[in-house]
Each structure stands twice: as structure tokens, then as C-alpha cells.
Structure 1
Amino acid sequence: MKQGTTYEVAEVAKLLGIHRNTVRRWLKEGLGAIDDRRPLLIHGSALKAFLAKRRESRRHTCRPGEFYCFRCRVPRAPWGATADVSFRNEKVARLAALCASCGTPMHRTVRRADLPALGALIDLHTLAPERMNGCSDPNANRAFEEV
């Protein structure tokens, strides 16, 4: 999307991969059209500013020791103040916990350098490696072969 270009409702919908009615709803919610005449034209800079404001209003910053719960739609503390840790690589760890309010699984990616500070806030448990990794392929059923 270009800031100096004007777009019709259908062009915005096609550009963003959404339905035209969504763009019309945005116009009712505060997206500014150039004027009231048909076809409705939307300036690129107004569209960009509207989308940035909308994105920022939906952002939730999690404090240390909190996870974002997708069911509650707010940052929540983990149930029992515990989380499981699995290591992705030498710099990144993945935390998994349950929401204290609704029990939904929550996940958070953190730097491994931040784990000691998080350990002071919540109880971190390292997950055991998966048992099936590195196993050979299972043998075919040989019960029907003649010996």
C-alpha cells in the first residue's frame, strides 16, 4: 500500500485480502474517506495510520512472569506459578504453562539469558527429552512370514 495513492473500497479489500464489508465497517469505525461522494476513496496514509492505531490498541505487553492467554485475551500468570522449559537452541527457550483462570495452554518464547530472572518469579521445570527421538524405524510385522 502506498501512502500517496487513493484507493476504492474494493481495492483496499483486494490489497489486504479481506472482504469489502470489512473495509466498510472500518469506515464506520473511524477510517477516514476523502469525501462523502461515491465511489468512496481512501487515502493511503489514512489507511496506514488507521491500521497502525488498530494494531497498537490490540497489543498487550506481558510483564516478566506472565503469558498471553488466547482464550482470556489478556496477559495472565501461569497456574501454580510454574512453567515447563524446553530449549530450542543455544539462545532461545520455549516456556509452556497453563492459564491460572481458564486452564488454557499458554506458550512464550524467551531468551535463555533471561531464564534466571524468570526463575525468581515462577518455578521453571525442564522437560525431559522426548523418548522416541533417535529411535530406529519399527520393524514390519513378521508374524505371517514363514520361518
Structure 2
Amino acid sequence: MIRFTLTAGVALLLAAAPVLAQTTVPQATVSAKVQTSSPSPGSEEWLRQRGESYSAAPDAEQDPAEVAETIRLNAAIAARNAAADRAEAEGAATYERESAQWREQTARLETQRVQYEADLAAANAARAAWERARAAWEAEVAACERARRVCVTTAPKY
């Protein structure tokens, strides 16, 4: 039991060691940073606060080969960006064109569907009228036959 307690205590201390090793910033320093105006991003002060420092050498001290390489790299980046912008514009134009074609085709198909349904309704109405006329003619012929007389009637035409 004592061995377990001792082992648990040591494990707890080892787990807490990184937390205990951290130092906290005094509250006065934190409030002082909050009260001062923050420097603009990219400025010397902004970089210094983040532990970075950068200062360009005067033009006289610049390496001409490095300057030429930087200009070449910047031109290549600008060319790639321009090509990407053109490709994006072409892609957007292609999308709009194909989207318009799809909407046009969809409208045309919808018109054809509506026309088909109208033609089908008209055909069904004509068939129903023909079936009624045929039934009436058959009833008239049957009545004539029952009366044993000759009736002159014409059958409905197809």
C-alpha cells in the first residue's frame, strides 16, 4: 500500500513538473501591454515584440546578384498569379456558359414534357369521345336487330 502511494505521488509530481516549471508573467506587465497601443503589423516594433528582427541593408550594400534573383523570382510569381487569374476567369466563363446551356436545355425539355402531356390529354379525350360514339352506335344497331328492322347507320370512324 505504501509502495503504491509513493509510486502515485512520484507519477503525479512528474506529470506536474512541466506546469510547475512554467513562469507566469507578472500582472503589471500584462496590463502595461494592454494599455499601450499595438504597433501596426509588419512594423519594426511589431516584429520585435514577436522576437523577430528584419532591417533591409542600404541599397549600396545590396548584392546585385541577389537583387536580380529576387526580381526574377517576383516576376515569375507575378506571371503565375496572372496565369491563375486568367485560368480562374476562363473557368468562371465556362461555368456560366455551360450553366446557361443547361438552363436552356432544361426549359426546352420542360416545354416538350408539357406539350406531350397536353397531346396525351387530347388523345385520351378523343378516344373517350370515340368510345362513347361507338357505344351509342352499337346500342342503336342492337335496338334495330331486336326490333327486326333494318337501320341505316354508319359506324364511327377511327
Higher RCO (CA-CA < 8 Å; seq separation 6+) = 1
Give your verdict on TM over 0.5.
no
Bucket of the pairwise TM-score, normalised by the shorter protein: under 0.3
In terms of fraction of residues, the more strand-rich structure is 1
In terms of fraction of residues, the more helix-rich structure is 2
Structure of larger gyration radius: 2
Output the TM-score relative to the length of structure 2. Answer: 0.20
